[in-house]
């Protein structure tokens, strides 16, 4: 495929980027970082808008939130001490598995969220940490959404992750360590007096995009995280999901994996919480 580009734009202001991307003609696509283009690229694509000049590469922690600019690279996430300790390192670890080592310094958070099929584990980790995604529309209005429901047509500006104290764990199975996971499960929880006070459970590989496993969350909220309770929650996940059937694994195999990995991740997080590890 050969692109017949009319122009390559690198706006310095957010308003200009939104204006360029909001045009119906000519056919315009955003270059979100590295080689990731947001939206389908075909021989009718005429304008590429490079978002790297918008000043959206930052990691800004405060007492309540860690804010990640959309153009923050995955390598930034892996190397940042603030991100490494956020949620037990869940985001940093997922970011490291999202792209080959040669692409980590170019791939961006915004690009990953715009193409969740390319970064399912990073999106799942963000879901487990209750991350909010700020997008800007054509009128420069801002909307906050969850990482699995970023509105189409908006420009991703920032990711905001609550800096709440949680214990986390993940379990995954892939054909190779660097391959996309057949199924991956990410959990973040807070236990008080032996009772689950906060739980987020998210998975990749069980649908067309990463998803919260709310059936398990509801089953364990305000409950003691006993082995039998975790077993029931994991079984409920198996019954509730409708995974794809592809070359990485059949739907039934993914359902079985979901049950096993949910049980393992929840058990690991519970044990860490009870032992006081962060």
Per CATH, 59-162 and 170-274 having the same topology is answered no
| Range list of H helices, the chain | 14-21, 74-79, 81-85, 90-98, 109-114, 120-128, 214-220, 227-240, 251-274
Q: Which residue has the higher pLDDT, 109 or 102?
A: 109
- What is the CATH number that goes with domain 170-274? 3.30.390.50
List the domain boundaries for the chain: 7-52, 59-162, 170-274
Q: Is the pLDDT of residue 267 over 70?
A: yes
The predicted model scores a pTM of: 0.91
Distance, in Å, from the CA atom of 91 to the CA atom of 82, rounded to the nearest integer, reads: 11
What percent of the chain has a predicted confidence (pLDDT) above 70?
92
* Residue 36 clears pLDDT 60, i.e. is over it: no
pLDDT band at 193 (very low <50, low <70, confident <90, very high): confident
* Average pLDDT rounded to a whole number, residues 131-153: 91
Using alpha carbons, list the distances in angstroms from residue 104 to 49, 79, 90, 156, 181.
21, 11, 16, 19, 18
Q: What is the pLDDT of residue 29?
A: 81
pLDDT at position 278 over 50: no
SS3 call for 266: helix
Model confidence pLDDT, tens digit, residues 47-84: 888 998 999 999 999 989 999 999 999 999 999 999 99
pLDDT > 90: what percent of the chain?
Answer: 66
Lowest mean per-residue pLDDT among 90-94, 113-117, 156-160, 161-165: 113-117
Residue 1 has pLDDT above 80, yes or no: no
Q: What is the pLDDT of residues 207-249, one digit of tens each?
A: 999 999 999 999 999 999 999 999 999 999 999 999 999 999 9
By the 10 Å C-beta count (0-12 exposed, 13-18 middle, 19+ buried), 107 is classed as buried
CATH match of 59-162 with 3.30.9.80: no
pLDDT value at position 127? 97
Distance CA 178, CA 72 (A): 22
């Amino acid at each position: 495929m050969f692109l017949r580009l009319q122009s390559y734009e690198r706006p310095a202001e957010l308003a200009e980027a939104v204006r360029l991307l909001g045009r119906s003609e000519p056919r315009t696509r955003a270059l979100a970082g590295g080689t990731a283009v947001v939206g389908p690229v075909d021989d009718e694509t005429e304008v590429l808008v490079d978002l790297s000049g918008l000043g959206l590469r930052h990691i800004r922690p405060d007492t309540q939130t860690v804010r990640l600019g959309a153009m923050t690279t995955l390598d930034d996430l892996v190397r940042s001490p603030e991100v490494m300790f956020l949620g037990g390192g869940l985001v940093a670890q997922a970011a490291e598995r999202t792209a080959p080592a040669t692409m980590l310094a170019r791939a961006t958070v915004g690009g990953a969220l715009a193409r969740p099929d390319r970064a399912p584990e990073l999106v799942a980790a963000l879901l487990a940490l209750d991350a909010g995604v700020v997008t800007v529309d054509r009128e420069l209005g801002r909307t906050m959404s969850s990482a699995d429901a970023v509105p189409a047509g908006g420009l991703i500006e920032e990711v905001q992750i609550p800096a709440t104290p949680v214990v986390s764990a993940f379990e995954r199975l892939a054909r190779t360590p660097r391959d996309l996971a057949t199924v991956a499960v990410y959990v973040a929880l807070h236990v008080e007096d032996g009772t689950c006070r906060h739980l987020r459970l998210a998975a990749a590989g069980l649908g067309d995009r990463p998803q919260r496993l709310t059936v398990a969350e509801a089953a364990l909220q305000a409950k003691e995280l006993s082995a039998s309770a975790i077993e029931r929650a994991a079984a409920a996940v198996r019954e509730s999901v409708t995974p794809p059937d592809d070359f990485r694994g059949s739907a039934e195999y993914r359902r079985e994996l979901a049950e096993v990995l949910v049980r393992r991740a929840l058990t690991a997080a519970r044990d860490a919480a009870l032992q006081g590890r962060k």
